[in-house]
Chain A
Amino acid sequence: LAKTTQPISMDSYEGQEVNITCSHNNIATNDYITWYQQFPSQGPRFIIQGYKTKVTNEVASLFIPADRKSSTLSLPRVSLSDTAVYYCLGRGGGFKTIFGAGTRLFVKA
């Protein structure tokens, strides 16, 4: 199972692009990189997942370099409602999906 390292917290302002980088030096060959978002008093919600290069959906983009030792979640033009905890994790090697402590993003007006 890949151990991931993320910044503990980040601050941003409304309208800015936010990039959260996750380090996963020992990611397994068959692991996908997956990001979840968690609001207070709610369970985590799946945002995006990728294996390599770039993946984009209506919520975010995910950039994974060729060596796959890190990944970057990009949130375009954040709003106050994007204030949440963001989790990066490796998944694919079984059913024991492991969450780290996540990155607490605080968006200011």
Chain B
Amino acid sequence: NAGVTQTPKFRVLKTGQSMTLLCAQDMNHEYMYWYRQDPGMGLRLIHYSVGEGTTAKGEVPDGYNVSRLKKQNFLLGLESAAPSQTSVYFCASSYGGQGATYSPLHFGNGTRLTVT
């Protein structure tokens, strides 16, 4: 049971390049989330999804797009990377049944992205 797996673990981009971060979970969770974490700050929610085919904006959605074509996968895209998007990106998932809003988030180990 792998839990939440993020790929890649590290990536360096040049300004203007695009890339997609992949998150996969094997816990059959309905809800999935993308966060970014910057030095000295907590995690900020970028986008989230409450089910296959649905996505919603979080606190800091600008410059990012997401897709949830399959229940187990949640993709985060950067169409034109900027240095301000240098960060560590975390994906999480949680249970979607009764009491879902109280269920713990399960996190991956992050993708460290540097944009030069």
- Interface flag for B74 (CB, 8 Å): no
Q: Within A47-102, which residues are at the interface with B (CB < 8 Å)?
A: 49, 87, 91-102
A44 — which chain B residues lie within 8 A by C-beta? 43, 90, 105, 107
How many Å from the CB of B5 to the closest CB on chain A?
Answer: 11
Over the window 15-40 of chain B, the binary record of Cβ atoms lying under 8 Å from chain A Cβ atoms (1 yes, 0 no) is 00000000000000001010100001
Q: Within A23-54, which residues are at the interface with B (CB < 8 Å)?
A: 32, 34, 36, 41-46, 49
Q: Do A34 and B104 touch (CB < 8 A)?
A: yes
- Output the nearest chain A residue to B35 by Cβ-Cβ distance: A99
- Interface flag for B2 (CB, 8 Å): no
A42 — which chain B residues lie within 8 A by C-beta? 107, 109-110
Over the window 78-108 of chain B, the binary record of Cβ atoms lying under 8 Å from chain A Cβ atoms (1 yes, 0 no) is 0000000000001010000000011011111
Q: Do B41 and A95 touch (CB < 8 A)?
A: no
The listed residue (A93, A98, A102) touching B59 by CB distance below 8 A is A98
Bound CA span A46–B104, Å: 6
How many Å from the CB of A104 to the closest CB on chain B?
Answer: 9
B59 — which chain A residues lie within 8 A by C-beta? 96, 98
Q: Do A32 and B42 touch (CB < 8 A)?
A: no
Q: Do B101 and A91 touch (CB < 8 A)?
A: yes
Range class of the A interface residue count: 20 to 34
B43 — which chain A residues lie within 8 A by C-beta? 44, 87, 99
B92 — which chain A residues lie within 8 A by C-beta? 43
B108 — which chain A residues lie within 8 A by C-beta? 43
Bound CA span A94–B102, Å: 9
B105 — which chain A residues lie within 8 A by C-beta? 36, 44, 46, 97
How many Å from the CB of A95 to the closest CB on chain B?
Answer: 6
Q: Do B42 and A43 touch (CB < 8 A)?
A: no
Q: Do A92 and B102 touch (CB < 8 A)?
A: yes
* A residues neighboring B (CB under 8 Å): 32, 34, 36, 41-46, 49, 87, 91-102
* B residues neighboring A (CB under 8 Å): 4, 31, 33, 35, 40-45, 48, 50, 56, 58-59, 90, 92, 101-102, 104-110
